Structure 1
């Protein structure tokens, strides 16, 4: 997103986009809209994490192999293909340094959890990069300086707001705001799984909104939580939110005092740190759990990971969330309910809706108990169940005791059920019509007509006594 707007308006548009997106995020916070943005199951989260881990790891191929000057493509997969087609340009020294740093981080992790290996790898890499850059050793290594030029510790840059506001800029700011909220809440949710804590959604949204405004004022680009940095922080031993504040203080100190030295950090060492972080992000126990208990959820996780890598992380999470909601709706459409069969004023059997088709004797009085919600999702399933009631049954009691929500489609389905049953010559009674469903039903003519005929009762027991 940022690249598109930087190419269209110039990089000086980015601070303005940061401020505008921050204002939109604060608007979301004030209106409490963040609760509607993220309804994502753990299977999708794990798939997203796996996909991001692959992106982080594979995205370091050029640095790990010491390759430079390759053509850059818009799509991630195209860049990987470009790298693989130019393997002959790999730098042996960079490969050795990457392998050594990565292996050291893996080994160090086994012996020291509280002291992150990055603290050792980074200064050592800076020293090696300095010696290489100054020609003290006969090894040619790409460094942050050779890639990005001189790194300044200047913290303040007055942004240029000399722009004509148009629809495109506002749409861009809203898009960035949405992505920032999604990525921030996803990072927080994934961090919860790593630390077994619980984040505060409201504070996360407020924080990212304020951060974007502050970033724009200082001439920076739009900000969002970054899963890679979050995971690195946690995997380095952080176990409290204060670590983020401490991290910001150290970043300020490094920017003011030590940042000029970081220009000597070899890109191969940076790649080793990021690949190590990517490996640590993926916890196989989650996928083993899905494999044992819900293979469809495992398939969804892998699908999200593939879409995340091949297409885009946000597309991956949206595809996963959409499929998860459709699966949930499909499961909810199965109208499970309790049905009691009575004959000669005696209970003869209790069954569920799945057993109704295979039960021959439905008795002379059948009680059909709705449970949970009656909505457009499961209304047709209830209608199908009612249609299965055979001719032996003379009276059907529809009980609403355990129904806690009903939409307009659900209300319409009740009228249809009554019509189906009366069309078969059966008497229909309604019982335990609680306050949640009584108000809309009392506005319906067919319901008032049933009441006038004495077919609406306060309880199912009262209805049974009248049979």
Structure 2
């Protein structure tokens, strides 16, 4: 194909190598840090960045999305690793990839995107808390503490040992975090994590060779010598399929899909492009399977690196692929140097990433415009951190769905009140009870749908109308199910029992096909109680209309 011709390939490499290198320089320290935050080894983060990145670049549907280790998955992976061991994380990646592939085949991505942004932002806040508060041991230099299966229990355990803080470690953490914020504020286009990592490696090396009067815990002292392993054959045993495993697999799959599609959509807005959602699902599935098979972690689209990719001049998916190749080269040539990275610096990078994950402006907007959504986001955040990420998403999505159903269950309408052939007022379903005079002719216009959701609401609204003639307009009614049809009949019968003359107007051909099968609608047509429009009905009642 011409796309893969040598000349075209050379052009793409020339256009995208700089952006690929820029993203790779950021990806290496972040991949190491996020792997540690996920309860895995640093090498697993690099493996993920390489193989997931290459697979997504080759098969994905976005030209700019970067797939790799992500903060959004760290809390889920850390909980899973605490309960099952880090050696099971590659199996989780493979199984999650298989589930995402099933989503791709069944096109379930169109249903997953129905989870509202308030739930996702609450989930992100919960993940940010998990990542940030999970670094307390590394930030304070606490070692040898007992570990628990719950992240919250581990946090409380750490807090109870705050008196044992190593002040040199804490000073390095605080200085690194401050430097990250200063670089982000004054040098926005410069990757602060790279500078902090380089400085940290220098300090860590001096500590390891005893050039300092104090000792700082490094990746080397905790994980041993790092080897540039590109493939680490997973040593996991076949997992036992139980509720815990299935819950973890589906949580990772759903979060990965949502984060990836959200990242691709936002980057599209930055680059004025449009990604192929179905292909991006395929790329994500294969990326996770490839990462797990190579001994890596579950991966997802990462907005920060994707945005950096676009802002650095990327023109195509080649940039994402080149990023993965540069990560590979850095791992082969310079990886041994990263073993001197202090854990306090890793903690600073992760806390900085956790803070940047949370969009304060979004929460301010929610609090100002929709406080119910704001408190729902807070609930999701607390559940995600204190209980379980999947519980947070499920509870948030369920409450949102119930609120939406409640919204749908309110029958919406426009009401016009007439007396002596003149309009005396206009109202809606919300305000009709405020009117003492409903006139002698009332026009009730159904808007939206008439279904089992809102039929009762319409019946209750119409029961309060006190008039001699009621015109029911169906012009703005775009859908009616069987329950809605029965409710319409019940409304007509009830009003007629109260000696109110009922007229139907604007019955479309679609609705007429349905209503003609009833025994009551043909009778209304025969009695001339059905008109093509409300205007025709008012004219028949003697209104002086043109």
**The two structures share one fold, judged by TM-score above 0.5:** yes
Residue 407 of structure 2 corresponds to which residue in structure 1?
Answer: 331
Q: Deviations over 1:252-284 (max 9, x none)?
A: 223322222212111000011111122223333
Residue 441 of structure 1 corresponds to which residue in structure 2?
Answer: 515
**Inter-partner Cα distance in structure 2 for 1:232 and 1:430:** 59
Q: Secondary structure at the match of 2:191?
A: coil
1:407 to 478, 481, 491: 481
Residue 151 of structure 1 corresponds to which residue in structure 2?
Answer: 226
Please state if 1:424 is matched with 2:498. yes
- Relative to structure 1, is the Cα distance of residues 246 and 348 closer, same or farther in structure 2, using a 3 angstrom cutoff? same
Residue 86 of structure 1 corresponds to which residue in structure 2?
Answer: 161
Asked if the contact 2:82/2:149 (under 8 Å) is kept, the reply is no
**Inter-partner Cα distance in structure 2 for 1:449 and 1:382:** 23
TM-score (norm 1): 0.86
2:147 to 44, 68, 72: 72
Higher normalized contact order (CA 8 Å, seq sep 6+, divided by chain length): 2
**Inter-partner Cα distance in structure 2 for 1:4 and 1:305:** 16
Please state if 1:372 is matched with 2:448. yes
Asked if the contact 1:76/1:310 (under 8 Å) is kept, the reply is yes
**Inter-partner Cα distance in structure 2 for 1:42 and 1:61:** 29
Residue 464 of structure 2 corresponds to which residue in structure 1?
Answer: 388
Asked if the contact 1:431/1:459 (under 8 Å) is kept, the reply is yes
Asked if the contact 1:430/1:456 (under 8 Å) is kept, the reply is yes
Asked if the contact 2:417/2:441 (under 8 Å) is kept, the reply is yes
- Count residues in correspondence: 460
**Inter-partner Cα distance in structure 1 for 2:184 and 2:525:** 73
Deviation of the 1:88 alpha carbon: 2.7
Residue 451 of structure 1 corresponds to which residue in structure 2?
Answer: 525
- Relative to structure 1, is the Cα distance of residues 210 and 194 closer, same or farther in structure 2, using a 3 angstrom cutoff? closer
Asked if the contact 1:191/1:231 (under 8 Å) is kept, the reply is no
1:49 to 114, 124, 127: 124
Residue 359 of structure 1 corresponds to which residue in structure 2?
Answer: 435
- Relative to structure 1, is the Cα distance of residues 261 and 191 closer, same or farther in structure 2, using a 3 angstrom cutoff? same
Please state if 1:185 is matched with 2:239. no
Residue 331 of structure 2 corresponds to which residue in structure 1?
Answer: 255
Deviation of the 1:417 alpha carbon: 1.1
- Relative to structure 1, is the Cα distance of residues 83 and 175 closer, same or farther in structure 2, using a 3 angstrom cutoff? closer
Q: Deviations over 1:399-438 (max 9, x none)?
A: 1101112233322321221221122122322211224433
Residue 314 of structure 1 corresponds to which residue in structure 2?
Answer: 390
2:347 to 248, 261, 271: 271
Please state if 1:289 is matched with 2:365. yes
Residue 200 of structure 2 corresponds to which residue in structure 1?
Answer: 125
- Relative to structure 1, is the Cα distance of residues 414 and 325 closer, same or farther in structure 2, using a 3 angstrom cutoff? same
Deviates more, 1:42-51 or 1:116-125: 42-51
Deviates more, 1:306-315 or 1:71-80: 306-315
Please state if 1:115 is matched with 2:193. no
Asked if the contact 1:181/1:205 (under 8 Å) is kept, the reply is no
1:303 to 371, 379, 389: 379
Deviation of the 1:46 alpha carbon: 3.0
Q: Secondary structure at the match of 1:342?
A: strand
Deviates more, 1:257-266 or 1:63-72: 257-266
- Relative to structure 1, is the Cα distance of residues 247 and 438 closer, same or farther in structure 2, using a 3 angstrom cutoff? farther
Q: Deviations over 1:22-50 (max 9, x none)?
A: 23322211221111123233333333332
**Inter-partner Cα distance in structure 1 for 2:83 and 2:371:** 45
Asked if the contact 2:232/2:294 (under 8 Å) is kept, the reply is yes
Taking the TM superposition and a 5 Å limit, the aligned residue runs for 1:139-178 are 139-158=214-233, 163=238, 168=241, 172=245, 176-177=249-250
Deviation of the 1:368 alpha carbon: 0.8
Q: Secondary structure at the match of 2:194?
A: helix
Residue 62 of structure 1 corresponds to which residue in structure 2?
Answer: 137
**Inter-partner Cα distance in structure 1 for 2:251 and 2:381:** 21
- Relative to structure 1, is the Cα distance of residues 318 and 103 closer, same or farther in structure 2, using a 3 angstrom cutoff? same
Deviation of the 1:131 alpha carbon: 2.2
Deviation of the 1:385 alpha carbon: 0.8
**Inter-partner Cα distance in structure 2 for 1:74 and 1:194:** 37
**Inter-partner Cα distance in structure 1 for 2:267 and 2:140:** 31
Asked if the contact 1:53/1:281 (under 8 Å) is kept, the reply is yes
Asked if the contact 1:373/1:406 (under 8 Å) is kept, the reply is yes
Residue 23 of structure 2 corresponds to which residue in structure 1?
Answer: none
Deviation of the 1:351 alpha carbon: 2.2
Deviation of the 1:112 alpha carbon: 0.9
Residue 202 of structure 1 corresponds to which residue in structure 2?
Answer: 278
Deviation of the 1:347 alpha carbon: 3.6
Q: Secondary structure at the match of 1:220?
A: coil
Deviation of the 1:235 alpha carbon: 7.6
TM-score (norm 2): 0.75
Task: Give the unaligned 5+ runs of structure 2.
Answer: 1-75, 542-546
What is the alpha-carbon root mean square deviation over aligned residues?
3.2
Residue 180 of structure 2 corresponds to which residue in structure 1?
Answer: 105
**Inter-partner Cα distance in structure 1 for 2:450 and 2:99:** 36
**Inter-partner Cα distance in structure 2 for 1:387 and 1:251:** 70
